[in-house]
Amino acid sequence: MDSITKIKTENLELFYGEVQALKNINLDIKEKEVTALIGPSGCGKSTFLKTINRMNDLIVGCKINGKVIFDDIDIYGQDIDIITLRKKIGMVFQKPNPFKMSIYDNIAYGPRIHGVKKKSSLDEIVEKSLRKAFIWDEVKDRLKTNALSLSGGQQQRLCIARALAVDPEVVLMDEPTSALDPISTLKIEDLISELKKNYTIIIVTHNMQQGARISDRTAFFLSGEVIEYDLTDTIFTNPKNPKTEEYITGRFG
């Protein structure tokens, strides 16, 4: 494969106080691909995801060593503007969390904080983002209603649209479908496959089939380490490490 590397971690380590949650992670995340992170609960998938947009900065006592290189720049280096970084790297959470405001305002929130004021530009961004998230037709007639009145699956697509509205290059998703019903889950999976044409996507999933269905590459995490990282097909059909095989087959069987 000769795709371009979008994000590269070098000897990444993370400590929560005394506890080491990530150990020596070296990953190459490729541009415009879907990378899935799998592994048992507590192995550090969410933690890893959050190092990429520096959400761990919020946690008191969290220490990070090593590098996360995004477009040739170390995001933990000096002179990094976190706001620009987070604008470029969007995030979607496990539980849909639309703000307690209208559908329109949810989407316009990001552009507004980044300085877009003109009504016509906002209208345009809102429509474009909702369309990209495959939810425009469902909500176009009620943009002013409260976002919390949407169903869970719609809320999650709204959150994806909200993330897309600030024009990110990468979208991080932490178990985005684990709180949703199967039909909503399928819709989101379709959406992800569509989005990878334009975005680099990293997704944490507990659902093995989901990982196999939608991702190009898969990283298997175990107690803070990456045990194996390869093309998804390889990982699922011909894993090199016995632990990976154990986990995958255990999950299937």
Partner 1 sequence: MKKKLDKLAELLFITSAIICVLALLLIMIFIFYKGAPSILETGVFKFLFGVEWQPRAEVFGILPMITASVLVTIGAILIGAPVGVLTATFIVYLAPKRIGNILKTATDVLASIPSVIYGFFGLMIIIPFIDRFLAGGAGGNSILAAIIILSIMILPTVISISESSMREVDISYRDASLALGATKISTIFKVMIPSAFSGIMAAVILGVGRALGEAMAVILVSGNAPFMPDSILAPVRTMSANIALEMGYASGAHQEALFGTGVVLFVFIFIINFIFYIVKHKGGVKN
Ligand X SMILES: Nc1ncnc2c1ncn2[C@@H]1O[C@H](COP(=O)(O)OP(=O)(O)OP(=O)(O)O)[C@@H](O)[C@H]1O
In the complex, the residues that contact ligand X under the rule CB under 6 A are: 16, 19, 21, 39, 41-47, 59
- Residue 156 CA to residue 154 CA, distance in Å, equals 5
Strand partners, 14: 22, 64
Give the residue with the Cβ less far from Mg ion, 39 or 239. 39
Q: How far is the CB of 126 from ligand X (least distance, A)?
A: 31
Give the residue with the Cβ less far from ligand X, 71 or 225. 225
Give the residue with the Cβ less far from Mg ion, 104 or 221. 221
Query: Which of 23, 32, 67, 87: binder of partner 1 (CB under 8 A)?
Result: 87
Q: How far is the CB of 242 from partner 1 (least distance, A)?
A: 37
From the list Mg ion, ligand X, partner 1, none, pick the one residue 91 interacts with, judged by a Cβ distance below 5 to 8 Å according to partner type.
partner 1
Give the residue with the Cβ less far from ligand X, 40 or 152. 40
**Using the rule CB under 8 A, is 91 a contact of partner 1?**
yes
Query: Which of 4, 26, 73, 83: binder of partner 1 (CB under 8 A)?
Result: 83
Q: How far is the CB of 70 from partner 1 (least distance, A)?
A: 14
Q: How far is the CB of 71 from ligand X (least distance, A)?
A: 25
Give the residue with the Cβ less far from ligand X, 55 or 126. 55
From the list partner 1, ligand X, Mg ion, none, pick the one residue 53 interacts with, judged by a Cβ distance below 5 to 8 Å according to partner type.
partner 1
Q: How far is the CB of 68 from partner 1 (least distance, A)?
A: 16
**Using the rule CB under 8 A, is 162 a contact of partner 1?**
yes
- DSSP for the chain, please give it: --PPEEEEEEEEEEEETTEEEEEEE--EEETTSEEEEE-STTSSHHHHHHHHTTGGGGSTTEEEEEEEEETTEETTSTT--HHHHHHHEEEE-SS----SSBHHHHHHHHHHHTT---HHHHHHHHHHHHHHTT-HHHHTT-TTSBGGGS-HHHHHHHHHHHHHTT--SEEEEESTTTTS-HHHHHHHHHHHHHHTTT-EEEEE-S-HHHHHHH-SEEEEEETTEEEEEEEHHHHHHS-SSHHHHHHHHHHH-
6 near 29, Cβ under 8 Å?
A: yes
How many residues lie near partner 1 (CB under 8 A)? Answer: 25
Buried b (16+ CB within 10 A) or exposed e, 40-66: eeebbbbbbbbbbbbbbeeeeebebeb
Query: Which of 46, 129, 155, 232: binder of Mg ion (CB under 5 A)?
Result: 46
Which residues of the chain form contacts with partner 1 (CB under 8 A)? 53, 55, 58, 82-87, 90-91, 93, 95, 97, 99-101, 109-110, 113-114, 159, 162-163, 166
Which residues of the chain form contacts with Mg ion (CB under 5 A)? 46
